[in-house]
Chains A and B, each alone.
Chain A
Amino acid sequence: MRVLYFAWLRERVGLAEEDVAPPPEVSTVADLARWLAGRDEAHAHAFENPAVVRAALDRRHVKPDTPLGGAREIAFFPPMTGG
């Protein structure tokens, strides 16, 4: 699946997007965040405080316990500050 990063998560990971193939036991949004955090130091830094990371699955806001299902795109980002 494609993972997108925005704002300081993008800066910390050092990528705007990447394609990943997590193992089958990674079944929820929170599982994926933990799995990504274990990839390297940059990802670990981006996900060091999961409480301030939000996610959207196929462009809709989701909670951490949401199953990934067959989603094609997931985005991680800090709380929004538009308007």
Chain B
Amino acid sequence: MSGVFTVRIQEPPFDAAAESASLTLGRTDVGAVVTFTGLCRADAGADGAALAALTLEHYPGMAEEEITRHLEEARRRWPLLGATVVHRHGRITPGEPIVLVVTSSAHRSAAFHAAEFLMDWLKTNAPFWKKEERADGGAWVAAKASDDVAADRWTATGESR
């Protein structure tokens, strides 16, 4: 059976367990599935105001295309049997899932590395922007230098090339 690779941008929540199960359904060649879920965290702001929600804006069309390009790069680097990336947009409250990356492979190393690679690139290159909603107003989330460092290490080391 050939691999199944899916990228979806959607507003409703997703079911991580069901997405993961669909990558192994009816097959016996998968030895490893890695599932990463990114959640909306209720961080207090600089002034202590609790986060009420995040609103995620995205660039329709480019978001799908950019994540698909990263997925193709991951497939060039690692022997994946399947992968699913789901990214939500719209208003998301603390505790809700935002992003899902599932990778499957014959062995764990490829699945672990590819999942981390996909998340690192997605954070810095997928066209999404978070706006925080707090009791005292709203503010756009600033990009983190640590995310750039995390993404850059995949090019600096030529991992698995």
Chain A residues with CB under 8 Å of chain B are 4, 6-8, 10, 56, 59-61, 75, 77-83
User: What are 6 A-to-B residue pairs whose CB atoms are below 8 Å?
Assistant: A8-B140, A61-B125, A75-B59, A81-B129, A81-B142, A82-B122
A21–B117 Cα distance when bound, in Å, is 40
Q: Could you tell me the distance in whole angstroms from the C-beta of A60 to the nearest C-beta in chain B?
A: 8
Contact with A along B7-31 (1 / 0, CB 8 A): 0000000000000000000000000
A7–B140 Cα distance when bound, in Å, is 7
Query: Are B129 and A80 interface neighbours, CB within 8 A?
Result: yes
Query: Are A6 and B130 interface neighbours, CB within 8 A?
Result: no
Complex: chain A residue closest to B56, CB-CB:
A82
Q: Is B98 an interface residue (CB 8 A)?
A: yes
Q: Could you tell me the distance in whole angstroms from the C-beta of B155 to the nearest C-beta in chain A?
A: 14
A7–B128 Cα distance when bound, in Å, is 9
For the A-B complex, the count of residue pairs with Cβ-Cβ distances under 8 Å equals 71
Query: Are B38 and A56 interface neighbours, CB within 8 A?
Result: no
A80–B140 Cα distance when bound, in Å, is 11
Q: Is B159 an interface residue (CB 8 A)?
A: no
Query: Are B140 and A82 interface neighbours, CB within 8 A?
Result: no
A60–B44 Cα distance when bound, in Å, is 35
Query: Are B123 and A59 interface neighbours, CB within 8 A?
Result: no
Query: Are B130 and A82 interface neighbours, CB within 8 A?
Result: yes
Q: Is B127 an interface residue (CB 8 A)?
A: yes
Complex: chain B residue closest to A8, CB-CB:
B140
Query: Are B59 and A83 interface neighbours, CB within 8 A?
Result: no
Query: Are B143 and A80 interface neighbours, CB within 8 A?
Result: yes
A6–B130 Cα distance when bound, in Å, is 11
Complex: chain A residue closest to B58, CB-CB:
A82
A6–B60 Cα distance when bound, in Å, is 11
Query: Are B129 and A77 interface neighbours, CB within 8 A?
Result: yes
Q: Could you tell me the distance in whole angstroms from the C-beta of B149 to the nearest C-beta in chain A?
A: 13
Query: Are A82 and B143 interface neighbours, CB within 8 A?
Result: no
A75–B129 Cα distance when bound, in Å, is 14
Complex: chain B residue closest to A4, CB-CB:
B59
Q: Which of B62, B98, B99, B141 contacts A75 (CB 8 A)?
A: B62
Q: Is B124 an interface residue (CB 8 A)?
A: yes
Interface residues of B in 91-110 (CB under 8 A from A): 98-99
A61–B140 Cα distance when bound, in Å, is 21
| Residues of B with C-beta under 8 A to A75 | 59, 62, 127
